[in-house]
Structure 1
């Protein structure tokens, strides 16, 4: 009975039946192809589950400080473009949710951060307009009205969008001499998640465009993580910048 329950849990969500037989009935624990599937699916589900709270520390930090100092709104917009491209491209190609699901949850959290950046910058009306326009555009992109060629082009823009968004944030950090309200927890989780996604995207989708996106994302997230470590002891504010100068 327990074996049947385990099989119902694993097949087909984590493993195809042939791999369940290899690993749990024949105890062939060195069956590399099936181990890759198990690790990839497990990582994918863990990344999707973790993405539910990856950017919440950033949201709470902004709300607690009632300030979005140090966050670049243009960087947020470009990151949102990349997340939207991944999500729309994955849906259009029928990729499994475990291969891209975090893009949905990160998108919702990034939209929230974008609105808070505008709101605490004294531009609440613009923040509301941003929300309305974004979700209207998202509905259009997910509809059958959007041709496949445009969806592929949107995904292809992810690489430059990610690079530019991280460069903008890195430039903002350098210019300020601190990382402001940037959350270290969020940055390091994004860095680790993008590294893991390189493996899962190759294993689950076999799509080189998806894999390249996560390679570039890992490198760029690593730059921001490095800045956080460099500016770790520097408090946010103009006084800190003057002290460094």
Structure 2
């Protein structure tokens, strides 16, 4: 028993870790987790794990669409990507972020939504550009800026709560165009396997952080349903893994 009680964070690390952990998990849990492991309770362990995972998702969200952006740039083609799907996803993500801010949820439970919206704006502009619609690309970026300002600065919290219930449906609908696009094309096109995998993993992690930190059945339902559709898209990516995009170098080699 004495050996187990001796297992704890080295004293020299207490000060810096307390400065980081206290604002996130509170004084009580910080003190508990800096003490012997045997005294750790499930509540504080779950809270610390949720914060760690949540902040990890936010950090990952800052670059989750970068592989997709790079693949688009490399392919110089938007085949397999749905402008409508990204527009719907962005609307749902922006609404969720504004809703979370209005209800004062911790940033660790929604922060990636802000980054996803910004990256989607870039992807949608690129889709327009590669489809020879440069004017629509500019309008897309302008629309994102105006919509974001409206949601965060002008729409009252009461209305946002109502809009979030609609955004739940919108978020689900947003997953359908990419699934249909891949099924019709018979290949993943410019769809990034890394991005899709990260989305599915993020959905699973968000279910945990929502249960631990956000007492909101609407948000939990959203992540459960989104996770299910992300799984379908991931299954498509795996199924069409070795199918080349028409006109690509790999496709030409297979024809030879």
Counterpart in the other structure of 1:65: 75
Q: Secondary structure at the match of 1:157?
A: helix
Distance 1:162 1:238 in 2: 32
Q: Which runs of 5+ in 1 are unaligned?
A: none
Displacement of 1:238: 6.8
Structure 1 residues 116-171: Cα deviation after superposition (integer angstroms, max 9, x where no partner): 0011110010111111122112101111x312232122211232222222111111
Counterpart in the other structure of 2:15: 4
**1:200 and 2:209 equivalent?**
yes
Equivalent residues of 1:72, 1:168 under 8 A apart:
yes
Equivalent residues of 1:162, 1:220 under 8 A apart:
no
Structure 1 residues 52-78: Cα deviation after superposition (integer angstroms, max 9, x where no partner): 111100000001111111101111111
Displacement of 1:26: 4.6
Counterpart in the other structure of 1:221: 230
Counterpart in the other structure of 2:5: none
Counterpart in the other structure of 1:133: 143
Match of 2:60 among 43, 50, 67: 50
Displacement of 1:30: 4.2
Return the index of the structure with the highest Cα Rg. Answer: 2
**Root mean square deviation of aligned Cα:** 1.7
**1:86 and 2:96 equivalent?**
yes
Relative to structure 1, the CA distance from residue 238 to residue 66 in structure 2 (aligned partners, 3 Å threshold; closer, same or farther) is closer
Q: Which runs of 5+ in 2 are unaligned?
A: 1-11
Displacement of 1:4: 1.8
Equivalent residues of 1:116, 1:127 under 8 A apart:
yes
Q: Secondary structure at the match of 1:94?
A: coil
Distance 1:100 1:44 in 2: 8
Distance 2:136 2:122 in 1: 13
Equivalent residues of 2:93, 2:171 under 8 A apart:
no
Equivalent residues of 1:48, 1:98 under 8 A apart:
yes
Match of 2:85 among 75, 83, 89: 75
Distance 1:229 1:162 in 2: 23
> Normalising by structure 1, what TM-score?
0.92
**1:231 and 2:240 equivalent?**
yes
Equivalent positions of 1:87-236 (< 5 A) are: 87-143=97-153, 145-236=154-245
Displacement of 1:216: 1.1
Q: Secondary structure at the match of 2:190?
A: coil
Distance 2:178 2:247 in 1: 17
Distance 1:203 1:63 in 2: 39
Displacement of 1:9: 2.1
Structure 1 segments of 4 or more deviating over 3 A?
26-30
